[in-house]
Chain A
Amino acid sequence: MLIKELTDLNGVSGNEKEVRDFIKDKINNFCDTIKIDSIGNIIAYKKGINSKFKVMLSAHMDEVGFIVSGHTDKGFLKFKPVGGIDDRILPGKRVLVGKKRLCGVIGSKPIHQQEKDEREKISKVKNLYIDIGAESKDEAEKLAPLGEFISFDSEFIEFGKNSIKAKALDDRVGCAVLIEALKNSFEFDLYACFTVQEEVGLRGAQVAAYNVMPDVALVIEGTTCADVPNVEPYEYSTIQGNGAALTIMDRTCICDKELVQFLHDVAVKNNIKVQYKQTTSGGNDSGQIQRTGTGVKTASISVPCRYIHSPVSVMSRSDYESVERLTIAALNQMSKNKDFLKSLSKLTSGKEQLTK
């Protein structure tokens, strides 16, 4: 399964090569050119039948993880998070260090050595360390030099009727959708951008979008899902099993209203389950893409992921399928209905405004 293959790869922000090489190989036969830009994005171009418009699909290849920041005298690794990670989930987790995937575990001071107030507090990253079985500082430095990237070690598992657990669902699900989309042909020019460094500040997408200067962009993502105990329904953000999640507004972007409505209509028409994301927190590449050049009509379609940014992200297979189907159905609809693309991409001309 494509998502299994993708989530088994390690690609912490700034170190996406493994993912990039895999994707390049997968899409090679389905596009006209593949460009790797200076920051490391893949920009896969598929010429349209009647290429008047440029549509950009975007999914980020990177995942949250860690980086080696020091070594103790006894050979433990000190580390820093790369991207947003909840400190509470760290103690006791397995990690993979560096290209050779050295086994490591995140440890902390044993509970019976902790003072009462220490027990009640959450262990901060600075008080944690990674044990890679090294016996000295020298050995640790050799095995895991400063700056080495570290990923969660977590297997892809299918469980229950419809659930999948893995690390890095955010945003390998998006990568999978882009790979599938490239297998289709459209009227417009399609640019599938697999971006880097989203988790540390939407960095790759900024240059990818500048390069492409698209008329329309769809960002395919894994997003937060808080439909769990002790959360009020109005705080759920998305609901697992309720289908593809459309963003109206988040911290980085107010999505193009017309485009969001279009996506919703396409979903309804094709019997694809769809929901609106019901909180305005979080952000993704759409924030950067939207404000590129003279502006890009942008929207995002996401797979709800519980426990996102952890080694045990959980999603529903049917939600993934909804996102994949909706993305491709929307592209097909844009392909058929050129007037829609035209209305989105058009700068309303001076004359038209003046005579209105």
Chain B
Amino acid sequence: MVGRKAPGGRIPRALLIPALVGLAFIALPVLALVVRAPWSDLGTVADDASLTTVLRLSLVSGALATALALATGVPLGWLLARGSFRGRSVVRALALVPLALPPVVGGLALLLAFGRRGLLGAPLEDAGIILPFTLTAAVLAQAFVALPFVVLAVEAAVASVDRDLEDVAASLGAGPVRVFVRVTLPLARPGLAAGAALAFARALGEFGATVTFAGSVRGKTQTLPLAVYDVLQRDRDQAVLLALVLLALSALVIVALRGSFLGGGRSRD
């Protein structure tokens, strides 16, 4: 739905036309993907063992990256919403860097930090831990780009939680951790879920940082977007079919999101 007409008013054509153009701009390529897909070859792709591997790699790394982003992004978002400390705006700006940074640059930065001769990578290598071109690197690359979505969503969600409820919980005997887990988090849940879903979607589609830091090693670091690009060099039809799988996953994420904030309001009961 484009929008309901305001009572007694009309949607001005000057707004309606560009809005429809924008919608078509999104819908047409998606439609093209579906229409031009070699559906007759679907069976061969479904049987393909490499697809299973790629899909599994994508889901596993995406889930791990989301978990990592949540584990660090939730406390960070809480800190930005509730903490009163100097340099908070600097912290917020820093947390948003991966959002503005081109992913390839992010991947390069990760390589310089965690690569074999990187800032932290060199001592890690001495300890026998080599990150680049491993699944761990793919997870790190995805978490890097997904983190800001969690931080932003959690900060907004926590800020909207009534502080008086946290204070009352404390007066009832709940320590800070209990207040956070039993009161703040449940009340921030809708925003938290939205942040997690967006982070997962972003991790799933991550390309630039992953290819730079983790490479496109088949069966090891090659996730769906990397596979789509790889296959595209040789066989366009196959690439389209792989892309459809990604499209289906994205659709699932959007359906999951609908409950948390696209539909507006909370999704309890």
Q: Do A and B bind each other?
A: no
